[in-house]
Structure 1
């Protein structure tokens, strides 16, 4: 039995070591006061996007081996030069930009954000660094492609990006069917191509960028239509800065003042020119899409797989020990003394709260609260990978605590009675008799929790952890091949879960021992041997 546990421990330690080694630099991120951290989506061409190298002046993305480029990145570089600071991009989903800034995860937001009244209540904004007009982007063969007035969009299914002022502007398109807001421009582009929407509202730069990769789209300039109104704040983009940091706001405004309008126009033109291209099914390109994707983004995908395995392995192992401790405590018999009795009740009450909270709330919400909340309220800046490991571990621990408790309680009562008859204490009964059986019986459930963790790490994209799903989303948004990319990601998840299931099934069989052991046959054989010895 000891050799089996040793073999299992070596196997798990090897896998954890490989995962840690692949992602070591992400877990232990060092704080550098000479760095200016700029938050952006890195998924909004031509303002910002993700690429695999530093070509065309791209900047590194924090906690990954990828880079960001685009108009926003170029503006950030100029500001960094004026402030004599190295610029690092903090890649964050749109909904995470404000929390990243207010929690101290980033120093600036440069992401094509408009300084609306609601946002100005939470953060400060610099002077505008970009002016734009608004368009409805639709297909060139759409019945709405020749719209001349706001009334011509009657019946059209129109959407815009979630959390932006663009979404409210749809109300001015009289009779349009306002669709659910989408999380990013990549999703809206794909929805338009697939025909699930008739168009989406955006700035003119988005139309120019989209036109380069899909000539079959058309931008309808609604800003020039009678009756369409936007405030000055909604038509410009500014840099977001935390309210307490007024000195940085002054420095950023001074830096922007040194960039003439002609240079800004040149920067945008160049950003559109060098943005990621896609073959879009062009003739002459006979290379398989899967081969092409792995050639260009294989490193990113492998890094995402490594991060997913790291979170699942470490989270499950740490969660197992958390659940083991909690499960043991919750099965301790009621003490005889009054003081110990009340102490155990209080501890059990606290552990019950822990279990109910972490089993009763989504991991995505837990991730946002722990990663951003701790930094905002307690000023403790946790690295996103370390935060992800903590989140997966304590979430898993809450589930495994009940699984292990059930395994302990399901052990036959006769086991307890026999151990007590031998004079064993509660601790001796637990460690030598009960737990070995309970853990072995719980192994299928523990394996299932591990499989769930491999898939559930995808929700950690809310804090921009570069796991498999987050990387896959980035690849899809850059290549515009959404279905093939997500199909590939699904296949990778299936391979991971299938392989892990088979490995743990093997471990379970080895721990179970020889099922063909026949006690009666062995007794007969021993008796036969004894008789033969007597005849001698």
Structure 2
């Protein structure tokens, strides 16, 4: 009976966690009558989608979507996930549609329904602006070439790789891909011509050296057989925009004249001033994820740490399974599984923030459990025996005698886990959470200042971690001196 009750409590505990996240952070499926569609994109793909200095989503795709929504009278919410995560979110029906410069291919048409093409793309090759040695595909033999995953440039590079004998290096965003060429790690880059041409115009340090190769067309995508009304509205709106001339005006805005943003100061302090609002917003999300997940992780760690040393084999086995799973798999895999895998299997939606909190909590909880186990086992066994000999029940002896001593031994490890969890939040940018690292990526996509921006982001992480470490050290001393 005791085992049954504990197992029931165990199951209910996790049910409460998921229910709480569903209440606090909206995760239910969007109902048709609300007509607010969740549309995923990649806001590091200028000039099609990026974020301006005011934090607004702009670009060809974003302006087209806004104009079509206005023309057709539907509401939508943009989910800036990044291209790979956006496609996976659509596959798992976490979002209703994707607009992200997505090429219409036969393979993708097996999984998604596409709108009428809204842009005909192509591929060009570019090299560092000071590189005069690479002028054709024949010059690539034995060299490294940079591409972005999921793009036409990547597909084209793969199709000619064997013929010209070069090695492909893959990146998830354009800014890092361009930086790899500028630093000389790769000698060339293949990318969609409007994206690369826009980057060159904005000063990404590259130059094109080949004519444009024919490419596929971009389309607005929904899941196969789903949201047909949204697809129809997109097509109708696109037709109306082309007829009115607004479609061409949007293209000219970004392809002919470039972005209408004023040129910002690209010096170190100028970038700090221009980027600080976005970075502080990202830092706020980082701290929120860290603090909330660690509170939950501490509860999980204490519970499973006690389970781990329990004499009951069922409880100890459950603890071992939980700890081994979350310590034995990468955090990024856990994030993908919780955000994409479980919702797809059980047919429900969960917000990226909720998925990120659950991932961090469960991951950190597994490490906390081992910290608790180690701390308790470090206390002399005679302490428990003495408490029991005085007539204290096991629970009270553990709570009143053993745990207070164990806590002092655990504090350094708790502090270390706090720092690790704070840094681990950067991995959650992969599912579109706009924390500090993701904020840096978004800013770099706009200003192409990779080195200085990553230096600023690194300094911010360093300052926060140093402050938290100093505060934790003071708290540790006070606890050990019996002042807290």
- TM-score norm. by structure 2 comes to 0.87
- Distance in 2, Cα, partners of 1:496 & 1:158: 37
Q: How many equivalent residue pairs?
A: 453
**Alignment CA distance shift 1:83-1:264 (3 Å):** closer
Q: CA deviation at 1:453?
A: 0.7
Q: CA deviation at 1:308?
A: 1.0
- Distance in 2, Cα, partners of 1:27 & 1:298: 26
SS of corresponding position for 1:106: coil
Cα-to-partner distance string for 1:335-367 (whole Å, 9 max, x where unaligned): xxxxxxxxx322322221111110111111111
- Distance in 2, Cα, partners of 1:154 & 1:288: 36
Segment drifting more, 172-181 vs 317-326: 172-181
Instruction: Report the counterpart of residue 43 of structure 1 in structure 2.
Output: 44
- Distance in 1, Cα, partners of 2:434 & 2:376: 38
Residue 325 in 1 paired to residue 303 in 2? yes
Q: Name which of 483, 494, 505 aligns with 2:451.
A: 483
Instruction: Report the counterpart of residue 16 of structure 2 in structure 1.
Output: none
Q: CA deviation at 1:113?
A: 0.8
Q: Name which of 268, 271, 275 aligns with 2:259.
A: 275
- Distance in 1, Cα, partners of 2:64 & 2:250: 8
Q: CA deviation at 1:122?
A: 2.0
The 5-angstrom pairing of residues 495-510 of structure 1 reads: 495-510=463-478
Q: Name which of 86, 103, 108 aligns with 1:114.
A: 103
SS of corresponding position for 2:164: coil
**Alignment CA distance shift 1:207-1:278 (3 Å):** farther
- Distance in 2, Cα, partners of 1:331 & 1:208: 62
Instruction: Report the counterpart of residue 252 of structure 1 in structure 2.
Output: 234
CA contact (8 A) 1:366 1:391 kept: yes
**Alignment CA distance shift 1:183-1:256 (3 Å):** same
Instruction: Report the counterpart of residue 194 of structure 1 in structure 2.
Output: 183
Instruction: Report the counterpart of residue 169 of structure 2 in structure 1.
Output: 180
Instruction: Report the counterpart of residue 86 of structure 2 in structure 1.
Output: 97
Cα-to-partner distance string for 1:254-313 (whole Å, 9 max, x where unaligned): 33233328643431220243537686xxxxx9x672331232221111111111111111
CA contact (8 A) 1:458 1:467 kept: yes
- Distance in 2, Cα, partners of 1:133 & 1:52: 29
Residue 242 in 1 paired to residue 229 in 2? no
Residue 435 in 1 paired to residue 403 in 2? yes
CA contact (8 A) 1:157 1:176 kept: no
Q: Name which of 128, 132, 146 aligns with 1:159.
A: 146
SS of corresponding position for 1:423: coil
**Alignment CA distance shift 1:110-1:294 (3 Å):** same
Residue 345 in 1 paired to residue 313 in 2? yes
- Distance in 2, Cα, partners of 1:504 & 1:140: 49
Q: Name which of 73, 77, 84 aligns with 2:73.
A: 84
- Distance in 2, Cα, partners of 1:208 & 1:387: 37
- Distance in 1, Cα, partners of 2:390 & 2:134: 86
Considering only CA atoms, is the larger Rg found in Structure 1 or Structure 2?
Answer: 1
Q: CA deviation at 1:212?
A: 1.6
Segment drifting more, 34-43 vs 417-426: 34-43
- Distance in 2, Cα, partners of 1:511 & 1:451: 20
**Alignment CA distance shift 1:447-1:475 (3 Å):** same
**Alignment CA distance shift 1:216-1:425 (3 Å):** closer
SS of corresponding position for 2:169: coil
**Alignment CA distance shift 1:291-1:44 (3 Å):** same
